[in-house]
Amino acid sequence: MTVIYSWNVNGLRAALKNGLMDWFAQTQPDILCLQETRLLPDEAPPELQRPDGYHVFWNPAEKRGYSGTAVFTKTAPLRAATLGIPEFDCEGRAQLLTFSDFTLVNTYWPNSQDERKRLAYKLAFCEAIGQTLDALVRQGRHVIICGDFNIAHREIDLARPKANENNAGYYIEEREAMTAFLARGYVDVFRCFHPDAVAYTWWSYRARARKRNIGWRLDYHCVDKSFLSRVKDIIICNDIYGSDHCPVALTLDKAPPGKKRTAP
């Protein structure tokens, strides 16, 4: 089996102080996708630059201390690239790693911000990601996209939907964009496996939100429908601290199982 973790660490420096390396050593994920690293590669400590048994791929933002993604993988990919679109690459928004049986896309979707200040930018990113994945699928590739999408797709995906209708992450335009993205032929794996589960991946640091479980599900693993048969399980690791987000773990079977799960 292959286990792919995705985690918005809300700054690698802070995550390291909060025990990231201990968790990493104990968990030993096959692949770890990080978002919001806010770190240049040469600013990382040696144990993070060259962890034993891992290949590391950094995708920092041009602006110091902002955004950025990184992937740690035990298996070397055949190819590693960014999205190839300057307006998104400059913020370290996406990485594409090609493995023998799938392409992994690690993403940190933009925050739309108050008063929809970056909504147009976010919607453009969503469309660019959709087109990129579509092109890979047309080439016969299976795709896994993971990361912090900064969208709570449906009412079940946040604790207080009515109170947040005019807040970034739950704007109607964002939810519609997520619906349109999935309609291209992709599956929200957690919601497919757990259609009625109330589970969150992000909690505000304010008002003891995490202790009270007043949260949002912003972090996703999605796959193309034909790859769903490879998925064995997905777990939101809400007992893991160190960030305002928690990790999400996707487990793949190494070979297609006899009984296939069908997409909704």
Q: Is there a catalytic annotation at residue 233?
A: no
Number of domains in the chain: 1
Q: How buried is 92 (Cβ within 10 angstroms: 0-12 exposed, 13-18 middle, 19+ buried)?
A: buried
Among candidate residues 22, 114, 134, 148, the one labeled active-site is: 148
Task: State the average pLDDT over residues 179-189.
Answer: 99
Supply the range of the domain harboring residue 121. 2-252
The pLDDT tens digits of the residues spanning 34-50 come to 999 999 999 988 888 88
Residue-level pLDDT at 264: 44
Task: Give a yes or no: residue 264 inside a domain.
Answer: no
The pLDDT tens digits of the residues spanning 202-216 come to 999 999 999 999 999
- Using DSSP, state whether 219 is helix, strand or coil: strand
Q: Is the pLDDT of residue 194 over 90?
A: yes
Instruction: Answer yes or no: are the C-beta atoms of 260 and 229 closer than 8 Å.
Output: yes
Task: Give a yes or no: residue 85 inside a domain.
Answer: yes
Q: Which of 11, 98, 18 is nearest to 57 (CA)?
A: 98
Instruction: Answer yes or no: are the C-beta atoms of 240 and 27 closer than 8 Å.
Output: no
- Using DSSP, state whether 221 is helix, strand or coil: strand
Instruction: Answer yes or no: are the C-beta atoms of 213 and 228 closer than 8 Å.
Output: no
Task: Give a yes or no: residue 226 inside a domain.
Answer: yes
Task: Give a yes or no: residue 261 inside a domain.
Answer: no
Task: Give a yes or no: residue 257 inside a domain.
Answer: no
Residue-level pLDDT at 255: 57
Q: How far apart are CA 18 and CA 236, in angstroms?
A: 19
The pLDDT tens digits of the residues spanning 250-263 come to 999 985 544 444 44
- Give me the CATH number covering residue 120: 3.60.10.10
Q: How far is CA 12 from CA 34, 158, 161, 168, in A?
A: 9, 26, 30, 24
What's the chain's average pLDDT?
95
Q: Is the pLDDT of residue 9 over 80?
A: yes
The pLDDT tens digits of the residues spanning 124-173 come to 999 999 999 999 999 999 999 999 999 999 999 999 999 999 999 999 99
Q: How far is CA 30 from CA 1, 51, 70, in A?
A: 9, 13, 14
Residue-level pLDDT at 256: 55
Q: Report the share of the chain in percent with pLDDT over 70.
A: 96
Q: Which of 25, 32, 22, 21 is nearest to 55 (CA)?
A: 32
Whether the full predicted model's pTM is greater than 0.85, yes or no, is: yes
pLDDT category at 177 given cuts 50, 70, 90 is very high
Instruction: Answer yes or no: are the C-beta atoms of 56 and 29 closer than 8 Å.
Output: no
The pLDDT tens digits of the residues spanning 16-35 come to 999 999 999 999 999 999 99
Task: Give a yes or no: residue 200 inside a domain.
Answer: yes
Q: How far is CA 111 from CA 116, 120, 123, 170, in A?
A: 9, 11, 10, 11
